[in-house]
Structure 1
Amino acid sequence: MNLRQYEYALAVADEGSMTAAADRLRVTQPSLSQQIAALEKNLGVRLFTRTPSGVRVTVAGRAFLAEAKIATTASRRAVTAARAADGELAGELVMAVYMGLGARQLPEVLGQLRSCYPKLQVTLFEEPDPADMERLVREGTLDMILVHHIPAWCTFEAHPLGQEAYVAVLPKGHPLLEDGGALRLEDLESEGWIRYRRASLLDDYLARLLTDARLSPPTVARASQISTAVRLVAHGLGVTVVPASAIPEGFEELARPLLPSLTEPVLVGVRRNPGAAEAAMLDHLGRQNWCGAELLLGQGVAVG
């Protein structure tokens, strides 16, 4: 057995198909099938059940793949650590990000890292639901998380980056945009609201806001991305509330601050015993402006 076989098995499980996994891995399908068969023979168990539509992971396969994921992650980190010790920052850094966080900052940070460390690869998991994030952390897949709050079950060390302001977004030409002042949630009660995917952290946050304010405005649509929600608002479908720094460029004039001010901390969580790649990412993140209100101020929008 070898780590390449582990990676092959993980790819087959992810894709649910030998053919799709072979395409992803850039190997031939017969070669992949032979490697999986050799791995199963060595283990003495079937990892996959072949079906007309693809493959399914067996009970034994699920148990094996959980440990295989940990082994391949450890191997990736070992390579990164060895190269960093030799003065070369390379390998893969894996990070999970809550919806809307870092929409303006992360592209700049990743560009800077790419320029400084061209052999370092950064993989982002955007908006994993709480169960997925917990699974990724427990598997050892994640190196860092960008969040508002470190979950109680997470052992990552928290590093504060700043405070994120929330703003209301209204359609072009809406009367409430005219004076440029702050708005109360009550001002938006009669409007149709663009909400987000149920059980997403952002939608849970909006639900708590509305419940605490004893408001129940109608939901006219749900979006899975903040940029989509803002564009729907811009075309008159309704209103929404979003983190200020998540507003796409060109739509800042549609944003208005909320009164009382709504903010949440922005934290980056780093796994225990981090390496040089995590330190480099943390350094570049810390150089960014994480006060969303100030980002909009730079666009000429009054936010306070």
Structure 2
Amino acid sequence: MSLRQFEYALAVAEEGSVTAAAELLRVAQPSVSQQIRGLERELGVTLFTRTPSGLVPTVVGRAFLRDAEVAVSAARRARATARSGADELVGELAVAAQMGLGTRQLPGALSALRLRFPRLEITVFEEPNPADLERLARGGVLDLALMAGRCEEGLYDGHHLGDEEFVVVLAAGHPRLAADRVELRDLQREPWVRFDHNSALDGVLREVLRDNDLAPTTVARVSQTATAVRWAAHGLGVTLVPASAVPPGHEHLARPVSPVVSQPVFAAVRPGAGPAEMTLLDLLRQETWHKSTFFSPVS
């Protein structure tokens, strides 16, 4: 087996077809087909099955691809380390952002990082659920992760960046927008836009609802904070998200809540991290967290 075969298999899984994978990799289609067939022969298994919607990994294929992703990421990191000098870094930096954390802080920090290391390629895993985040971390894929709460000791080093206050997002014209803060008990009769059952964000919301004796109606569940905010803005229901996760243009619809809901924000960094990770960590420390005062009623 070769690293190239791993990369080809991952591309086919991502694109759903050999043709699209070949275009992504900028190689000839027969080359991709040949490499996949050779890999399956060597392994003695079928990695992909053909469906009306395209090529889909088999059960064995999914397990193989998880390890292949780890191997490819490790190889990229090794190449970057070998080719990097004191002032030039070539390679990929993998970042994860849990619960929409860093939506406002990451763009500026990553832009500054790119100025420092212009040949660095950045991959961001947006809002992975806890299981996916742990898999990526244990697989050695991640270089830095933004997460609420401390990370597992030994696997990554946790650095406290600040505290993130949560805000409720309401529809335009909602009477509660007139207040500086919204009392959670006043939202008892409101329908809610919530998040996937296994997501970290819905875990926070479950605790908030339980602690405030709320049992509201759930009208929808989504996987992305930006989607929840947009749907709340259109009147489908209210939602609760980290303040920095509110997309630009929706700030006037967000209000902090009472009792206050907040979570500590940690940057989880691999022990022995390189210059890119440590530079990004320093840049994130310079960003502003806990920004609920940004949201104020419109007079």
TM range (shorter): 0.7 to 0.9
Aligned: 1:275 with 2:274: yes
Q: By how many angstroms is 1:189 displaced?
A: 0.6
Q: Which residue of 2 aligns with 1:109?
A: 109
Q: By how many angstroms is 1:28 displaced?
A: 1.6
Bigger CA drift: 163-172 or 220-229? 220-229
Cα pair 1:134 1:154 within 8 Å, conserved: no
Question: C-alpha distance in 2, partners of 1:90/1:277?
Answer: 10
Q: By how many angstroms is 1:301 displaced?
A: 5.2
Q: Which residue of 1 aligns with 2:81?
A: 81
Cα pair 2:166 2:242 within 8 Å, conserved: yes
Q: Secondary structure at the match of 1:269?
A: strand
Cα pair 1:144 1:269 within 8 Å, conserved: yes
Q: Tell me the alpha carbon deviations over residues 239-296 of structure 1, each in whole angstroms, 9 at most, x when there is no partner.
A: 22221111122222222222221111011101122111111211211111112224x1
Work out the percentage of aligned pairs sharing the same amino acid: 49
Aligned: 1:232 with 2:239: no
Matched AA of 2:9: A
Q: Which residue of 1 aligns with 2:213?
A: 214
Question: C-alpha distance in 1, partners of 2:131/2:199?
Answer: 11
Question: C-alpha distance in 2, partners of 1:129/1:16?
Answer: 23
- Provide closer, same or farther for how the CA distance between residues 210 and 19 of structure 1 changes in structure 2, counting only shifts above 3 A: same
Q: Secondary structure at the match of 1:272?
A: coil
Q: Tell me the alpha carbon deviations over residues 81-129 of structure 1, each in whole angstroms, 9 at most, x when there is no partner.
A: 2233353122100111112211111111122222222211110111112
Q: Which residue of 2 aligns with 1:192?
A: 191
What 5-or-longer segments of structure 2 have no aligned partner? none
Q: Which residue of 2 aligns with 1:183?
A: 182
Cα pair 1:136 1:142 within 8 Å, conserved: yes
What 5-or-longer segments of structure 1 have no aligned partner? none
Cα pair 2:6 2:72 within 8 Å, conserved: yes
Matched AA of 2:76: R
Q: Which residue of 2 aligns with 1:171?
A: 171
Alignment of 1:85-100 (within 5 A): 85-100=85-100
- Provide closer, same or farther for how the CA distance between residues 5 and 291 of structure 1 changes in structure 2, counting only shifts above 3 A: same
- Provide closer, same or farther for how the CA distance between residues 61 and 200 of structure 1 changes in structure 2, counting only shifts above 3 A: closer
Q: Which residue of 1 aligns with 2:265?
A: 266
Matched AA of 1:200: S
- Provide closer, same or farther for how the CA distance between residues 301 and 286 of structure 1 changes in structure 2, counting only shifts above 3 A: farther
Aligned-residue Cα RMSD (Å) equals 2.6
Q: Secondary structure at the match of 2:100?
A: coil
Question: C-alpha distance in 2, partners of 1:223/1:110?
Answer: 27
Count of equivalent residues: 297
- Provide closer, same or farther for how the CA distance between residues 233 and 40 of structure 1 changes in structure 2, counting only shifts above 3 A: closer
Bigger CA drift: 139-148 or 5-14? 5-14
TM-score (norm 2): 0.87
Q: Tell me the alpha carbon deviations over residues 50-74 of structure 1, each in whole angstroms, 9 at most, x when there is no partner.
A: 6476556567766654544333222
Q: Which residue of 1 aligns with 2:20?
A: 20
Q: By how many angstroms is 1:216 displaced?
A: 0.7
Q: By how many angstroms is 1:234 displaced?
A: 2.5
Q: Secondary structure at the match of 2:287?
A: coil
- Provide closer, same or farther for how the CA distance between residues 113 and 34 of structure 1 changes in structure 2, counting only shifts above 3 A: same
Bigger CA drift: 30-39 or 50-59? 50-59
Q: Which residue of 1 aligns with 2:241?
A: 242
Q: Tell me the alpha carbon deviations over residues 172-201 of structure 1, each in whole angstroms, 9 at most, x when there is no partner.
A: 2222222x3322210111222222233221
Question: C-alpha distance in 1, partners of 2:238/2:47?
Answer: 48
Question: C-alpha distance in 1, partners of 2:216/2:43?
Answer: 59
Q: Secondary structure at the match of 1:85?
A: coil
Matched AA of 2:115: S
Bigger CA drift: 184-193 or 220-229? 220-229
Matched AA of 1:223: V
Question: C-alpha distance in 2, partners of 1:58/1:234?
Answer: 40
Question: C-alpha distance in 1, partners of 2:13/2:62?
Answer: 9
Q: By how many angstroms is 1:46 displaced?
A: 4.1
- Provide closer, same or farther for how the CA distance between residues 227 and 72 of structure 1 changes in structure 2, counting only shifts above 3 A: closer
- Provide closer, same or farther for how the CA distance between residues 154 and 252 of structure 1 changes in structure 2, counting only shifts above 3 A: farther
Q: Secondary structure at the match of 2:89?
A: coil
Question: C-alpha distance in 2, partners of 1:128/1:259?
Answer: 28
TM-score (norm 1): 0.86
Question: C-alpha distance in 2, partners of 1:109/1:27?
Answer: 34
Q: Which residue of 1 aligns with 2:33?
A: 33
Question: C-alpha distance in 1, partners of 2:139/2:58?
Answer: 19
Question: C-alpha distance in 2, partners of 1:229/1:59?
Answer: 32
